[in-house]
Amino acid sequence: MSTIVEARGLKMYFPVGRTLGGKPKRLLKAVDDVSFSIQKGETFGLVGESGCGKTTVGRCLVRLYEPTDGRIFFDGQDIAHLGEKSLTPYRRRMQMIFQDPYASLNPRMTVASIIAEPLRYAGASKAYQTERVRELVDLVGLKPDHLQRYPHEFSGGQRQRVGIARALACNPEFIVCDEPISALDVSIQAQVINLLHDLQERMGLTYLFIAHDLNIVKYISDRIAVMYLGSMVELATSDELYANTLHPYSKALLSAVPIPDPKLEAQKKRQIIEGDVPSPINKPKGCAFSSRCPLACDKCRQSAPTLKEAAPGHFVACHLVEAQG
Protein backbone atom coordinates (compact mmCIF):
# COMPACT_ATOMS: atom_id res chain seq x y z
CA MET A 1 0.00 0.00 0.00
CA SER A 2 1.19 3.55 -0.67
CA THR A 3 0.62 6.67 1.38
CA ILE A 4 -2.19 8.97 0.23
CA VAL A 5 -2.23 11.54 3.08
CA GLU A 6 0.50 12.47 5.51
CA ALA A 7 0.59 15.07 8.29
CA ARG A 8 4.04 16.13 9.55
CA GLY A 9 4.36 18.32 12.64
CA LEU A 10 0.81 19.59 12.12
CA LYS A 11 -0.18 22.53 14.33
CA MET A 12 -3.41 24.48 14.37
CA TYR A 13 -3.59 27.36 16.84
CA PHE A 14 -6.57 29.72 17.12
CA PRO A 15 -6.13 33.24 18.51
CA VAL A 16 -8.19 34.04 21.63
CA GLY A 17 -8.85 37.74 22.33
CA ARG A 18 -6.80 40.60 20.86
CA THR A 19 -4.53 43.22 22.40
CA LEU A 20 -4.98 46.91 21.44
CA GLY A 21 -2.19 46.36 18.91
CA GLY A 22 -4.27 43.58 17.27
CA LYS A 23 -2.05 40.73 18.44
CA PRO A 24 -3.68 37.58 19.88
CA LYS A 25 -3.79 37.65 23.70
CA ARG A 26 -3.53 33.88 23.95
CA LEU A 27 -3.50 30.87 21.67
CA LEU A 28 -5.85 27.91 21.75
CA LYS A 29 -3.63 25.02 20.67
CA ALA A 30 -6.27 22.76 19.10
CA VAL A 31 -3.68 20.57 17.34
CA ASP A 32 -0.12 20.64 18.59
CA ASP A 33 2.55 18.85 16.58
CA VAL A 34 0.74 15.80 15.22
CA SER A 35 2.35 13.46 12.65
CA PHE A 36 0.90 10.38 10.95
CA SER A 37 0.23 8.94 7.51
CA ILE A 38 -2.77 7.20 5.96
CA GLN A 39 -2.37 4.44 3.37
CA LYS A 40 -4.47 4.17 0.19
CA GLY A 41 -7.61 2.09 0.80
CA GLU A 42 -7.18 2.23 4.59
CA THR A 43 -9.65 3.38 7.25
CA PHE A 44 -7.75 5.36 9.85
CA GLY A 45 -9.76 5.89 13.05
CA LEU A 46 -9.20 9.00 15.15
CA VAL A 47 -10.71 8.95 18.64
CA GLY A 48 -10.76 11.07 21.77
CA GLU A 49 -13.10 13.13 23.92
CA SER A 50 -14.78 16.17 22.45
CA GLY A 51 -12.38 19.12 22.18
CA CYS A 52 -9.27 16.90 21.76
CA GLY A 53 -8.58 18.29 18.27
CA LYS A 54 -9.70 15.35 16.12
CA THR A 55 -12.16 17.35 13.99
CA THR A 56 -9.56 20.11 13.56
CA VAL A 57 -7.08 17.52 12.25
CA GLY A 58 -9.70 16.33 9.73
CA ARG A 59 -10.47 19.86 8.61
CA CYS A 60 -6.78 20.63 8.13
CA LEU A 61 -6.22 17.48 6.05
CA VAL A 62 -8.92 18.49 3.54
CA ARG A 63 -7.74 22.10 3.80
CA LEU A 64 -10.92 23.59 5.22
CA TYR A 65 -8.34 25.15 7.57
CA GLU A 66 -4.87 26.36 6.66
CA PRO A 67 -2.64 24.98 9.46
CA THR A 68 -0.58 27.30 11.63
CA ASP A 69 2.49 25.17 10.99
CA GLY A 70 3.54 21.78 9.66
CA ARG A 71 3.09 20.01 6.36
CA ILE A 72 0.21 18.08 4.80
CA PHE A 73 1.06 15.83 1.89
CA PHE A 74 -1.68 14.64 -0.42
CA ASP A 75 -0.42 12.08 -2.94
CA GLY A 76 3.12 13.40 -2.39
CA GLN A 77 2.33 17.12 -2.83
CA ASP A 78 2.56 19.48 0.16
CA ILE A 79 -0.84 21.23 0.19
CA ALA A 80 -0.60 22.77 3.70
CA HIS A 81 -0.24 26.35 2.53
CA LEU A 82 -1.45 26.26 -1.08
CA GLY A 83 -3.70 29.14 -2.18
CA GLU A 84 -7.30 28.46 -3.25
CA LYS A 85 -6.45 28.40 -6.99
CA SER A 86 -3.66 25.82 -6.56
CA LEU A 87 -5.91 23.77 -4.26
CA THR A 88 -8.71 23.43 -6.86
CA PRO A 89 -7.50 20.12 -8.37
CA TYR A 90 -7.19 18.64 -4.83
CA ARG A 91 -10.63 19.79 -3.66
CA ARG A 92 -12.29 17.23 -5.96
CA ARG A 93 -10.09 14.43 -4.64
CA MET A 94 -10.79 15.06 -0.90
CA GLN A 95 -14.23 15.36 0.67
CA MET A 96 -15.86 15.49 4.07
CA ILE A 97 -18.99 13.87 5.54
CA PHE A 98 -20.31 15.86 8.50
CA GLN A 99 -21.70 14.82 11.87
CA ASP A 100 -25.09 16.44 11.66
CA PRO A 101 -26.69 15.60 8.32
CA TYR A 102 -29.51 18.08 8.93
CA ALA A 103 -27.29 21.09 9.64
CA SER A 104 -25.02 20.31 6.70
CA LEU A 105 -27.81 20.18 4.07
CA ASN A 106 -29.42 23.37 2.76
CA PRO A 107 -33.13 23.07 3.75
CA ARG A 108 -34.24 25.15 0.74
CA MET A 109 -32.59 22.90 -1.85
CA THR A 110 -34.02 19.67 -3.25
CA VAL A 111 -32.01 16.49 -2.80
CA ALA A 112 -31.15 16.53 -6.54
CA SER A 113 -29.80 20.04 -6.24
CA ILE A 114 -27.80 19.27 -3.06
CA ILE A 115 -26.12 16.23 -4.60
CA ALA A 116 -25.39 18.08 -7.85
CA GLU A 117 -23.81 21.08 -6.07
CA PRO A 118 -20.16 19.87 -6.26
CA LEU A 119 -20.71 18.95 -9.93
CA ARG A 120 -21.98 22.47 -10.67
CA TYR A 121 -18.88 23.95 -9.01
CA ALA A 122 -16.70 21.61 -11.08
CA GLY A 123 -18.39 22.95 -14.25
CA ALA A 124 -20.10 19.67 -15.26
CA SER A 125 -22.75 19.86 -18.01
CA LYS A 126 -26.45 19.72 -17.05
CA ALA A 127 -26.85 16.35 -18.78
CA TYR A 128 -23.91 14.86 -16.86
CA GLN A 129 -25.21 16.28 -13.57
CA THR A 130 -28.60 14.64 -14.09
CA GLU A 131 -27.09 11.28 -15.01
CA ARG A 132 -24.53 11.34 -12.17
CA VAL A 133 -27.12 12.33 -9.54
CA ARG A 134 -29.29 9.35 -10.55
CA GLU A 135 -26.27 7.04 -10.25
CA LEU A 136 -25.36 8.43 -6.83
CA VAL A 137 -28.87 8.13 -5.43
CA ASP A 138 -28.87 4.47 -6.42
CA LEU A 139 -25.35 3.96 -5.00
CA VAL A 140 -26.33 5.20 -1.52
CA GLY A 141 -29.65 3.30 -1.40
CA LEU A 142 -32.11 6.15 -2.01
CA LYS A 143 -34.85 6.11 -4.66
CA PRO A 144 -35.26 8.27 -7.80
CA ASP A 145 -38.54 9.69 -6.39
CA HIS A 146 -36.54 11.14 -3.45
CA LEU A 147 -34.77 13.56 -5.80
CA GLN A 148 -37.35 16.34 -5.80
CA ARG A 149 -37.93 16.25 -2.03
CA TYR A 150 -36.38 18.47 0.65
CA PRO A 151 -34.11 17.45 3.58
CA HIS A 152 -36.86 17.88 6.22
CA GLU A 153 -38.90 15.14 4.50
CA PHE A 154 -36.25 12.52 5.36
CA SER A 155 -35.15 10.55 8.42
CA GLY A 156 -31.68 11.14 9.92
CA GLY A 157 -30.28 8.03 8.22
CA GLN A 158 -31.65 9.08 4.81
CA ARG A 159 -30.25 12.58 5.24
CA GLN A 160 -26.82 11.13 5.98
CA ARG A 161 -27.16 9.09 2.76
CA VAL A 162 -27.77 12.39 0.90
CA GLY A 163 -24.61 13.82 2.55
CA ILE A 164 -22.64 10.75 1.47
CA ALA A 165 -23.96 11.00 -2.12
CA ARG A 166 -22.91 14.67 -2.24
CA ALA A 167 -19.42 13.78 -0.95
CA LEU A 168 -19.07 11.09 -3.65
CA ALA A 169 -20.30 13.28 -6.54
CA CYS A 170 -16.86 14.14 -7.93
CA ASN A 171 -15.33 10.69 -7.39
CA PRO A 172 -13.04 11.54 -4.45
CA GLU A 173 -10.20 9.29 -3.27
CA PHE A 174 -10.04 10.41 0.36
CA ILE A 175 -12.99 11.19 2.66
CA VAL A 176 -12.93 12.58 6.20
CA CYS A 177 -15.94 11.08 8.00
CA ASP A 178 -16.46 13.41 10.97
CA GLU A 179 -18.59 11.48 13.49
CA PRO A 180 -20.97 10.52 10.65
CA ILE A 181 -23.25 8.38 12.82
CA SER A 182 -23.16 10.14 16.21
CA ALA A 183 -26.40 12.03 15.53
CA LEU A 184 -28.27 8.91 14.33
CA ASP A 185 -30.43 6.37 16.17
CA VAL A 186 -28.49 3.26 17.20
CA SER A 187 -30.71 1.15 14.91
CA ILE A 188 -29.62 3.24 11.88
CA GLN A 189 -25.92 3.53 12.76
CA ALA A 190 -24.99 0.03 11.55
CA GLN A 191 -26.74 0.64 8.20
CA VAL A 192 -24.69 3.78 7.53
CA ILE A 193 -21.45 2.07 8.64
CA ASN A 194 -22.20 -0.86 6.30
CA LEU A 195 -22.90 1.56 3.47
CA LEU A 196 -19.56 3.35 4.03
CA HIS A 197 -17.80 -0.02 4.12
CA ASP A 198 -19.44 -1.19 0.85
CA LEU A 199 -18.61 2.08 -0.88
CA GLN A 200 -14.99 1.78 0.22
CA GLU A 201 -14.73 -1.71 -1.31
CA ARG A 202 -16.44 -0.71 -4.55
CA MET A 203 -14.65 2.59 -5.09
CA GLY A 204 -11.27 2.01 -3.38
CA LEU A 205 -11.87 4.91 -0.99
CA THR A 206 -9.59 5.92 1.88
CA TYR A 207 -11.25 7.18 5.09
CA LEU A 208 -10.23 9.18 8.11
CA PHE A 209 -12.99 8.11 10.50
CA ILE A 210 -13.44 10.44 13.47
CA ALA A 211 -15.44 9.22 16.46
CA HIS A 212 -15.67 9.17 20.20
CA ASP A 213 -17.40 5.78 20.22
CA LEU A 214 -14.62 3.20 20.42
CA ASN A 215 -16.98 0.34 19.53
CA ILE A 216 -17.70 1.77 16.10
CA VAL A 217 -14.09 2.74 15.43
CA LYS A 218 -12.91 -0.79 16.16
CA TYR A 219 -15.37 -2.28 13.70
CA ILE A 220 -14.50 -0.02 10.78
CA SER A 221 -10.82 0.95 11.26
CA ASP A 222 -7.62 -0.73 10.13
CA ARG A 223 -5.53 1.47 12.44
CA ILE A 224 -6.60 3.76 15.27
CA ALA A 225 -4.98 6.86 16.76
CA VAL A 226 -6.02 8.21 20.17
CA MET A 227 -5.84 11.97 20.72
CA TYR A 228 -5.75 13.91 23.97
CA LEU A 229 -5.62 17.69 24.23
CA GLY A 230 -4.29 18.32 20.73
CA SER A 231 -1.66 15.53 20.71
CA MET A 232 -1.58 11.93 19.56
CA VAL A 233 -0.97 9.64 22.55
CA GLU A 234 -1.26 6.18 20.96
CA LEU A 235 -1.37 4.69 17.46
CA ALA A 236 -1.67 1.02 16.52
CA THR A 237 -3.62 -1.41 14.36
CA SER A 238 -7.17 -1.82 15.57
CA ASP A 239 -6.57 -5.38 16.89
CA GLU A 240 -3.31 -4.44 18.62
CA LEU A 241 -4.81 -1.37 20.30
CA TYR A 242 -7.66 -3.38 21.81
CA ALA A 243 -5.51 -6.41 22.76
CA ASN A 244 -2.49 -4.51 24.11
CA THR A 245 -3.55 -1.02 25.17
CA LEU A 246 -0.52 0.83 26.56
CA HIS A 247 -1.37 4.48 27.24
CA PRO A 248 -3.22 5.21 30.53
CA TYR A 249 -5.68 7.50 28.72
CA SER A 250 -6.49 4.90 26.03
CA LYS A 251 -6.99 2.31 28.79
CA ALA A 252 -9.50 4.57 30.51
CA LEU A 253 -11.34 5.26 27.23
CA LEU A 254 -11.53 1.54 26.46
CA SER A 255 -12.73 0.63 29.93
CA ALA A 256 -15.73 2.88 29.30
CA VAL A 257 -16.82 0.81 26.24
CA PRO A 258 -19.74 -1.42 27.30
CA ILE A 259 -19.34 -5.20 26.73
CA PRO A 260 -22.50 -6.75 25.16
CA ASP A 261 -22.38 -9.73 27.60
CA PRO A 262 -24.06 -8.52 30.86
CA LYS A 263 -22.01 -11.00 33.01
CA LEU A 264 -18.66 -9.82 31.63
CA GLU A 265 -19.85 -6.20 31.80
CA ALA A 266 -20.67 -6.60 35.51
CA GLN A 267 -17.21 -8.08 36.22
CA LYS A 268 -15.32 -5.44 34.25
CA LYS A 269 -13.11 -2.97 36.14
CA ARG A 270 -13.96 0.52 34.95
CA GLN A 271 -11.23 3.15 35.12
CA ILE A 272 -12.73 6.53 35.83
CA ILE A 273 -10.61 9.49 34.76
CA GLU A 274 -10.76 12.07 37.53
CA GLY A 275 -11.28 15.76 36.74
CA ASP A 276 -12.08 17.62 33.54
CA VAL A 277 -10.00 17.94 30.37
CA PRO A 278 -7.75 21.01 30.91
CA SER A 279 -8.23 23.98 28.58
CA PRO A 280 -6.15 23.85 25.37
CA ILE A 281 -5.39 27.53 26.11
CA ASN A 282 -3.65 26.57 29.33
CA LYS A 283 -2.21 23.07 29.02
CA PRO A 284 -0.41 21.43 31.95
CA LYS A 285 3.39 21.53 31.83
CA GLY A 286 5.03 18.24 30.81
CA CYS A 287 2.64 15.44 29.79
CA ALA A 288 -0.74 16.95 28.86
CA PHE A 289 -2.48 14.04 30.66
CA SER A 290 -0.47 14.49 33.90
CA SER A 291 -3.25 16.44 35.69
CA ARG A 292 -5.59 13.39 35.39
CA CYS A 293 -3.29 10.41 35.07
CA PRO A 294 -3.32 8.02 38.07
CA LEU A 295 0.32 7.08 37.30
CA ALA A 296 1.75 10.61 36.98
CA CYS A 297 5.19 11.15 38.57
CA ASP A 298 7.53 14.17 38.79
CA LYS A 299 9.07 13.43 35.39
CA CYS A 300 5.56 13.51 33.83
CA ARG A 301 4.96 17.02 35.24
CA GLN A 302 8.32 18.29 33.95
CA SER A 303 8.74 16.94 30.41
CA ALA A 304 6.31 15.97 27.66
CA PRO A 305 6.71 12.40 26.34
CA THR A 306 7.08 11.95 22.58
CA LEU A 307 5.45 9.24 20.46
CA LYS A 308 7.79 6.21 20.40
CA GLU A 309 7.46 2.74 18.89
CA ALA A 310 6.82 0.34 21.79
CA ALA A 311 6.05 -2.70 19.61
CA PRO A 312 6.14 -3.06 15.80
CA GLY A 313 3.70 -0.49 14.42
CA HIS A 314 2.48 0.42 17.94
CA PHE A 315 3.40 3.97 19.00
CA VAL A 316 2.85 5.45 22.47
CA ALA A 317 3.61 8.78 24.15
CA CYS A 318 4.13 7.91 27.82
CA HIS A 319 7.25 7.99 30.03
CA LEU A 320 6.27 4.69 31.63
CA VAL A 321 6.18 2.75 28.37
CA GLU A 322 9.57 1.52 27.13
CA ALA A 323 10.48 2.26 23.53
CA GLN A 324 11.41 -0.72 21.34
CA GLY A 325 15.08 -1.54 20.74
User: Hey, which residues does 277 pair with through a beta bridge?
Assistant: none
Q: Using the CB atoms, write b or e for 133-171: b if 16+ within 10 Å.
A: beebbebbbbeeebbeeebeebebbbbbbbbbbbbbbbe
Nearer to ligand SF4, 159 or 319 (CB): 319
Q: How far is the CB of 104 from ligand SF4 (least distance, A)?
A: 36
Looking at residue 244, what DSSP letter applies?
S
- 3-state SS, 142-169, equals CCHHHCCCCHHHCCHHHHHHHHHHHHHC
Among 74, 84, 94, 65, smallest CA distance to 170 is for 94
Interface positions, 261-290, toward ligand SF4 (CB under 6 A): 287, 289-290
Closest CB to ligand SF4 among residues 172, 305: 305
119 binds ligand SF4 (CB under 6 A): no
Per the CB < 8 A criterion, the answer to whether 299 and 319 are in contact is yes
| Subset of residues 156 to 215 that bind ligand SF4, contact rule: CB under 6 A | none
Which of the stretches 31-39, 167-175, 187-195, 312-320 binds ligand SF4 when contact is defined by CB under 6 A? 312-320
Residue 318 binding ligand SF4, by CB under 6 A: yes
Q: How many residues bind ligand SF4 (CB under 6 A)?
A: 12
Rg (CA), the chain: 21
Report the 10 Å Cβ neighbour count for 100. 17
- Closer by beta carbon to ligand SF4, 281 or else 295: 295
Q: Which of 45, 58, 172, 305 binds ligand SF4 (CB under 6 A)?
A: 305
Q: How far apart are CA 201 and CA 57, in angstroms?
A: 25
What's the closest the beta carbon of residue 315 comes to ligand SF4, in angstroms? Answer: 14
Based on the shown chain and the rule CB under 6 A, indicate whether residue 295 belongs to the binding site for ligand SF4.
yes
Of 104, 121, 251, 67, nearest in space to 183 by CA: 104
Give yes or no for residue 250 binding ligand SF4 (CB under 6 A): no
Please classify residue 324 by burial: count the beta carbons closer than 10 Å to its beta carbon, then call 0-12 exposed, 13-18 middle and 19+ buried: exposed
CB of 249 to ligand SF4, least distance (A): 6
Task: For residue 227, state whether it binds ligand SF4 (rule: CB under 6 A).
Answer: no
With CB under 6 A as the contact rule, the residue among 248, 252, 283, 315 that binds ligand SF4 is 248
Please give the residue ranges that form the binding site for ligand SF4 (CB under 6 A): 248, 287, 289-290, 293, 295-296, 300, 305, 318-320
